[in-house]
Structure 1
Amino acid sequence: MSESRKASIKEKVRRISSRPGVYLMKDRFGTVLYVGKAKSLKKRVSTYFQPSRKTQIAQPKIIAMIDLVHDIETIEVKSETEALLLEGKLIKEYRPRYNTDFVDNKQFLLVRVDVSSELPRFRLTRNRREDGARYFGPFAHSGLLRRTLAEMRLQFGILLGDAKPEKLSDGRWRLYDDARAEIYRQTEVVTQEEYHTRVEQACAFLDGKSREWLADLKEEMAKSAADQRFERAAELRDIIAALTRTIEPSRRFTRVPKVVSVKANEAVEALKLALEMSEAPLVMECFDISHISGEHVVASMVRFVGGRPDKQGYRRFRIRSFIGNDDFRAMEEVVGRRYRRLHEEGRPFPDLIVIDGGLGQVRAAQKAFLVLDLIPPTLIGLAKREETVVFPDEREPVQMQRHDPGLQLLQRIRDEAHRFANSFNADLRSKKIRESVLDDFDGLGPVKRRALMEKFRSVEKLKHASLDELKQVEGIGPKTAESLKAFLDRL
């Protein structure tokens, strides 16, 4: 590393805060090399660049990485637990080459069942593919998993990967040889249909085991984080994420027959099929951001129930956390505000959240849940140009057919959110224009104008205010009140 680069990085480190957070090491092309978390960002990051660091580092890969670092980005959070969650999210997003602790859980075993085969077997694998098979896991303890499968073979009479069944002359199957048949609790000679029934029962058992194990893992992760064993909590967090993805049905595209006219409930069912959701999205909420050149930035949320607008559930938001033009930050803010409130009030989340926008906006919405440590419902974006459904994770986008009633339902809720956001924006612009007439009255600075508007809420109400009411506003003296009354009467 050159002396000039050392000096530049040293200056960056000097400006880093001591708050908890996540740091990203980047090379000269801006590629993220490494993502880490820290209780104190300044303390953790500075250790990488101390003169004695190379003699302390046990991993040669980290030594090599330090020589490639050209920039450091930090993200401050409120707690170590929040840093832990954000670290995992960013590692999965950027997949840095020098992060070795979170390699998509390939060290853990999955159970694969090819349900389309003549006699499905329960096999072990380390990679999940989109091949139509069912997958269960990942399971961190391979020994326990193998014992579970052995017990399932006895209990349900299923085939494991090493089985060699024999097809008999009458079309039935002998699952095991005579020497082994005695130890099994199920009949060894079955028809194909009878065996498939066994497979369904075994899959249901394994699915229940996965969900039971998921609950145990979440409890163990929370305890590890509370005990400040953050490395173990991080490992468990990644296993939980992978197990959750495996349990949830994949969102592959399903064609829906062309329907000229469908009712609202039929559109909801069509959307369920198109997204391969386990339950129909009876309650949907959609968000949109509206602004003009970064000014009057607002957001809308519309709510559909049973495929129809629920206008009492509509909400409008003014952006509070920043001033300017940043759709991603605006989306993160309003989604966070909405579902933090629902969570605090103990109210249920919708079945489906729709974001008007592409991958960036959807990931901003996902980040809001991550920061709040909440599990989001199904979350998608509807990108305008090609009307493509996008997801915040690694799933491929879905291109639904134009006549698909599920897509038409998504378009209706998206367009309604857009209309509602634009109407709110127009209201604010009109209000600002009306309020600007006060700029023509001498003697009113920003503080007094703001006090007047907070008191009367609009210029129209201000025009009808009495002289005594004007005098009651802080900063408005008798002479100013009289002059202002005369000015307003001329409008």
Structure 2
Amino acid sequence: MKDRLRKKAQSLPQKAGIYFFKTQTGEVIYIGKARSLRNRVKSYFQQTSDAKIKKILSETWDVDFILTDSTKEAAFLENNFIRQHQPKYNLRLKDDKSFPYLKMTLREGFPALTLTRRVEEDGAKYYGPYSPAHRARQTSHLITKYFGVRTCQEAVPGKRKRPCLDYDLKLCSAPCVSYISEQDYRESVENARLFLEGKTEKLLSALKKKMRAAATRQEFEQAAHWRDLIHTIEEIKQRPKLISVRKEDIDIFGFIRENEYVAVYVFYMRAGRVIESEELYFPEKEETKVTEVLYSCLMNFYTNREDIPDKILLPFSPERKEKLSKMLSKKRRKKIEITIPLKGKYKKLVDLARTNAEILMRKKSEALSPLEEAKKIFELKALPVRIEGYDISNTGGDESVGSLVVFENGLPQKNDYRKYKIKSVEGPNDVASLQEVIRRRYTRLLQEKAAFPDLILVDGGKGQLNAARTVLKELGLGHLPVVSLAKKEEIIFTPAHKNGIRLDKTSPVLMLFQSIRDESHRFALSFHRMRRSKKSFASRLDGITGIGQKRKNALLAEYNGIEEIEKASIEELSAIIGRKAAQSLVDKLKAE
């Protein structure tokens, strides 16, 4: 497992973004940000004594990521996604604390500049957010120093007879004591707003001249001062795309098409924050126009969706755009705006979504490569997109069970897994047990007229392969391709390769088949152990007064072991088997 994740880390891009550690069920357990995704994620697989990292890796099944344009954007996105997913190993950022903003109180005659972490609809103008937080304080200091805007909460004009210390430090123009007219103060505020909005070309040019002149005079401290100021102003110009002070609800789509496949990446901005994303990947005929593909994609995407935003950003105009807009507006009962941005912040958001769509296309293409190789090696008629894997587990023939796992595009589909209690086979007969499972599975698919897999993989050698083929022929499904993978020697048997195929240990096909085989084995073994535990549990209930088979079954249905019963209260047990029998059970357990 660790080797597979280490290899995946090596394939990550050396770009800024956020990364996710996910469990086998898809639960996000940790989110982090990185200047280089590859270097950061690779660092987790180095020798370490950090207990937290060891625990995270022990539960991690997959690593995913989202690209951003900068580390600053990554910090904002990390904050949003942690608050949305609440990963159990992220101790920071899980509360409602957010990045700071600067607030200009424009409704006052003499507006003030304050620091806040909450954006409200109060007529004020908000700027930010700022990361790291000290950047907000630095910016506030620049505004007070160069434009004289006040930061206090005092009434203006007030009752003061002389200005406060900020005036003496040249950090305020002292409107509280009428040292500046309202008109002049308003002009300073407007200039400060231009500065905060990033319209700073002339200011930057003048500051760079001052920095170079100071360096020429060898006044290095002064040059450093101007350098830091320039850096702060340039930071301010890089306004974050992934957070909006307008509290907008927007869906942002990135789209890419390669040959017969389409990748779509969607960012969900809610209340001005990108809080979630979704990936769509599907085949499409090459002759279908991209505008038609996008229209069909959007129709399918929103047909059963209740959460429709105020605005949808697209990379290009789909077919029947007006019809789509009317349909969504009718469903939302509010006009929905579909926009194809050509410049500005919205265009950058769409570009970022497209970048992640390109990454999605690359990831899916890499996942398909072993499937394409498998199709070629085993001469399959279709790409084995859906593979079903089977295994049998028992102990000396006792409590025999079977498992079915499903992989699509090389990834496990947990919701499609199935487990089987073997009913018709006595003793340790894995081949006959496998036949029972195959028969039950495909008889049901025939009855339900459901889709069949592109490939069947059974754990074992020639015996298991032939057993599976025999049942499939009986059911009229002899055309379904079947292979088996033998343990230890890792030989793949097929009807056309009776002596088996030995693939290189680094073969992507072999590694995929091993993953499916190991997963089916894990799933069967866990079910078998649970059955054995319940049987042992049942035997300990024998001979207790008042507990017959019916009450024993009731307890088995409610509890997984004696330990759970010992924790249950007498009232809880009485509700299942009656007060008298519950008391007998508790007395027996205490006596053991």
The answer to whether TM tops 0.5 is no
**Greater relative contact order structure (CA < 8 Å, 6+ sep):** 1
Larger radius of gyration: 2
Give the TM-score normalised by the residue count of structure 2.
0.35
Give the TM-score normalised by the residue count of structure 1.
0.41
